[in-house]
Chains A and B, each alone.
Chain A
Amino acid sequence: MKKTILILSAIFVASFSFAQMPDKFVKAMGANIARIDTAKTAQDWIDITAAFERIAEAEKNQWLPYYYVALGNVMSGTMSLGDNMYGNNMDKTDPKADAAEKALNKAISLSKETSETWVVKKMIISLRMLGDVMSRAMSAMPEATAALDNAKKLDANNPRIYILEGQDKYYTPEQYGGSKDEAKVLFEKAQKLFETFKPETSIHPNWGKNQIGYFLSLYK
């Protein structure tokens, strides 16, 4: 009996430590992903990004932490601009866009180009554009469109594609091709896609419902 218990406990301890890696990884990832929904400020995103960075640095072979590092850098970069979207923001946007790009390339090298990586790629292009809209928009806009096209090519049912399209439509002045009505259609399309969208695992990209909720609330 004693032996059995010892063996059992040995197995228990061994299996515990064996399972620890992915479990600890999934748990740590999950905890940080949960923080995405409540992130409201640039500082929140800086904290989240740092947490993902730590996981990425410790694991090195997982692409997801790098994906979230890229996303986090774009988000904190964009949020740090506040209302000053059309000024000379290069000192804020470029280091963040560079960091995001580096992480995204790492994520792609560990996995492959997916609809999700193209979504983040588009966000990086847009962030960089905000560094100096006047002189960068001309080249950034077609680049951003191309990135979303690639995202659609790989998975046309990725709701995040349409959130970004909707956002662009929403914020672009009407004279420049923006339209709040067309934006609404896109947000609703994204919302509908979320009903059927299933992330591969609990820690794969699944963000965006909050953004849709926010934008649709603006129409009420």
Chain B
Amino acid sequence: MIRFEKVSKTYPGPGKPALDNVSIDIEKGEFVFLVGTSGSGKSTALRLVLRESRPSSGRVYVAGKEVNRLAGWKVPRLRRQIGTVFQDFRLLQNKTVSENVAFALQVIGKSRSEIDKVVPGTLEMVGLEGKGDRLPTELSGGEQQRVAIARAFVNRPMILIADEPTGNLDPTTSAGIMKLLGRINETGTTVLMATHDEHVVDQMQKRVIELDHGVITRDEARGGYGSQVV
């Protein structure tokens, strides 16, 4: 589903490359944690999957397509197959929960009737039934992240990318979010999550890829946050 072939990424200016000859192969339906310290290259890897930037060398494949060779006008189509969740939720504060979720469908041209059919079900799935009319400011951090996940998942993407989704949440709320991501993964969606959250990685016991200064130092099928296999 996601494949990096000897990918390097160097940003302008002096310093080491953000990614250095990285090769990763993630199968359809896998749940993968991308761990490492700040500056290890996690976010760069996610940006390459989303075609927010292009590799300096090597190839990135997403859903069978080489994304760095994708024409600009085809990029939106690629992104419709990828849901994205961030640490800071990125919700539109002037829109209600339902409107935030519906927005993702609206802007890709889905019909009103289709939106009305899909949004309530998605809100129910993420545990926000009955809260569709609330504004994001009326919700807790965990609930806001659930809205962001609903928005990312409402189009039923093949891949869900999560960049530090529990970074702003307490351990209990984080556990709820991880449970939700686990359920999404069970529907067949491939989940790639960059995180610093030791606790959730240890608890989930999924595949862990560790990056250090742009180089893969560990790729374990069922691992924890640290180097030890739990």
Q: Do A and B bind each other?
A: no
A residues at B contact (CB < 8 Å): none
